[in-house]
Chains A and B, each alone.
Chain A
Amino acid sequence: MYDGGKIIAGIIIFLAFATFPFYSNIGKADIKPPKPSLDTPVIKELAVKKCVEPKEYMRANHMQLLIDWRDAALREGKRIYINSRGEEVFISLQNTCMKCHSNKKKFCDECHSYANVDPYCWDCHFAKAKQEEQR
């Protein structure tokens, strides 16, 4: 093998970089699975505790739903969403979603932080600002 030393050194450096995410997180595995909280005043007062779509669907697809909502409301002028139960929902992240889920930190961020995703919704939209700001 030509330049064996250099090649082996190169492989070691490469491995050191490639495995960085693994060894840098060693010992941090005690992070608990996320438990998004539904404990908000508005949700408590709801007679039927149901989101716009079934829980399982929302858990898996809320991001796509929000994107569809966004395009329907903003680009097509269709501001009403008719859900699978046939109910009409006014499309608005700030004024519909966050009205119930006013606890962004304990609801949205709980999973987002766990999954290490950082959606930029709140760069523009308020997380029910009135209550958040008062705190």
Chain B
Amino acid sequence: MSVNRREFLKYAGLTCIGIGVGGAQLFVTRAKAFSGYTPTNYGLKAKRWAMVIDLRKFEHEEDYKKVIEACHSIHNVPDFGNPKDEIKWIWTEDFEHSFPYQMNHYVPKEVEEKPVLLLCNHCEHAPCTRVCPTKATFKRPDGITAQDYHRCIGCRFCMAACPYGARSFNWRDPRPYIKHINPEFPTRMPGVVEKCNFCVERIETGKKPACVEASEGKMLFGDLADPESEIRRYLDEHFSIRRKPHLGTQPAVFYIIGGE
């Protein structure tokens, strides 16, 4: 039997396709033993998680430190000690730079000098989730802007998109820079973006966010969609502001600055 070149190529091609299809089938028909997934029955539930930070109640440096330390130690947030590689989930900034569009020259001195606690705003219309090319950062139905470190490709589009500077990138391996490791929570790897997760791992196991717990009542956490919730009542009674409201992102973190 003689096979010319054309025929040889034809059969070779067909063989390749055959092998490919067979291989794909092996892949698809892999056994599945599972029965199902379900949320925990002891998790906290809300339609729209939100936070109120009552800055009036933060008096000493210690008050801020406790809150930040609670978050960063639980989530294995590294401390690089330099602003270039810095990673932070919650931190302080002075009033002028926290609210650059709301600053005037004649605010009371105690407000002007008071540090503001900053964290991810978990915006309703989050620009970061809009730009992410892999859905590594995404909105959960309960309003939390989540970040999937397994999927993040490290393009940092979300960092350019976030108007609040809430996102940090792992420029280097974070592990050597974590002072006290919490073995219950993972770290991150170099090359992914991270930020505050509103303590989703705690909420889903029935606990409030670590910062709220550590603040001892200076910060509130609850369901913005429920008119009867604690934070809704608090917002009804106190005048609150949010960062850069003109951008239409609808932040879920509210600040109470002054007044009784």
Taken residue by residue from 69 to 111, chain A's Cβ proximity to chain B (1 for < 8 Å, 0 otherwise) reads as: 0101011111111111010101100110000000000000000
Instruction: Count residues of chain B with CB under 8 A from any CB of chain A.
Output: 30
Interface hit among B26-34, B62-70, B247-255: B26-34
* Nearest Cβ on chain B to A78's Cβ, whole angstroms: 4
Which residues of A sit under 8 angstroms from B204, Cβ to Cβ? 77, 79
Taken residue by residue from 183 to 200, chain B's Cβ proximity to chain A (1 for < 8 Å, 0 otherwise) reads as: 111111100000000001
Taken residue by residue from 53 to 83, chain A's Cβ proximity to chain B (1 for < 8 Å, 0 otherwise) reads as: 1100100110011001010101111111111
Which residues of A sit under 8 angstroms from B40, Cβ to Cβ? 79-80, 90
Closest to A130 in B: B183
Which residues of B sit under 8 angstroms from A123, Cβ to Cβ? 189
A124 contacts B183, C-beta separation under 8 Å? no
Q: B39 at interface (Cβ–Cβ under 8 A)?
A: yes
The distance in angstroms between the C-alpha atoms of A68 and B188, with both chains bound, is: 20
The distance in angstroms between the C-alpha atoms of A74 and B200, with both chains bound, is: 9
- Can you report 5 residue pairs joining A to B where beta carbons are below 8 Å apart? A57-B33, A68-B34, A81-B34, A83-B34, A124-B189
Chain B residues with CB under 8 Å of chain A are: 30-31, 33-40, 43, 138, 140-142, 146, 148-150, 181, 183-189, 200, 204-205
Given pairs A68-B34, A77-B142, A124-B188, 20 additional interface contacts (CB within 8 A) = A61-B33, A74-B146, A75-B138, A78-B37, A78-B38, A78-B39, A79-B39, A79-B40, A79-B204, A80-B37, A80-B40, A81-B37, A82-B34, A86-B35, A94-B183, A123-B189, A124-B186, A126-B186, A128-B183, A133-B181
